[in-house]
Structure 1
Amino acid sequence: MSLTAIAETIEKGLSKSDFTDSLKFDCGTAGVIMIADKQVSLEDGPAACTLKMSVENLEKLVTGKLNPMTAVMMGKIKVGGDPSVAMKLGKLLKG
């Protein structure tokens, strides 16, 4: 799945949620997905929380094949910034 397809999946979940924080999925050289002001973008920018992971793990995360808490504990996701924003991720993805 491409970053664009993942962003579209996230956007569908965002439209059904009350998530209002700013969050960045940083996939290194593959790019970023930003969520800010109820908008999803592939443009980089500042965010309250940054989640660093591979594109493969991001795809698993948005498709429900990877539990966010387990992924953090296993080192598949690195959290930077405000961890309380990352805790809201489950609600966003369940949308």
Structure 2
Amino acid sequence: MTKSELLAKMQDAGAWLPGKTVKIDFGGDDGVIHMDGANNLVTDNDAAADTTIKVSWDDFQSLASGALDGMTAFMTGKLKVEGDMGNAMQLQGIFSKLRG
């Protein structure tokens, strides 16, 4: 799946936390996904967020498909969280929406 396909799928699925902003930073040339729960938008704008998740594109694909568990990714350093950890914990529900 390309990033633009993922953006469209996340927008269609309502993949955001109500009233919260979460940025997934893939690093380098892979850019970001910004989930804006205040405006109900998913974009690739590199804007400020309540929580920033740093993860490689490949590891994110594994998380989104369910092949990699979020807690395992966090404990092994494949996923890093900056800001509100509570928002990061709620992302499991978003990944379930994407698979469902």
Q: Does the alignment reach a TM-score above 0.5?
A: yes
The structure-2 alpha-carbon separation of the partners of 1:46 and 1:24, relative to structure 1 and needing over 3 Å to count, comes to same
Gaps of 5+ in 1: none
Which amino acid in structure 2 is aligned with residue 53 of structure 1?
V
Residue in structure 1 matched with residue 27 of structure 2 by the alignment: 28
Which deviations, in whole Å up to 9, do the C-alpha atoms of 1:39-64 show, x marking residues without a partner?
A: 11011101110000111011111111
What is the CA–CA distance in structure 1 between the aligned matches of 2:87 and 2:60, rounded to whole Å?
A: 17
How far apart are 1:71 and its partner, in Å?
0.5
Name the SS for the 2:14 alignment partner: helix
What is the CA–CA distance in structure 2 between the aligned matches of 1:46 and 1:69, rounded to whole Å?
A: 24
Gaps of 5+ in 2: none
TM-score (norm 2): 0.83
TM-score (norm 1): 0.86
RMSD: 1.6
What is the CA–CA distance in structure 2 between the aligned matches of 1:13 and 1:65, rounded to whole Å?
A: 20
What is the CA–CA distance in structure 2 between the aligned matches of 1:92 and 1:22, rounded to whole Å?
A: 13
Q: Which of 70, 76, 79 is the equivalent residue of 2:78?
A: 76
Which amino acid in structure 1 is aligned with residue 50 of structure 2?
A
Aligned residue pairs, count: 93
Identity of aligned residues (%): 31
Query: Structure 1 stretches (4+) deviating beyond 4 angstroms?
Result: none
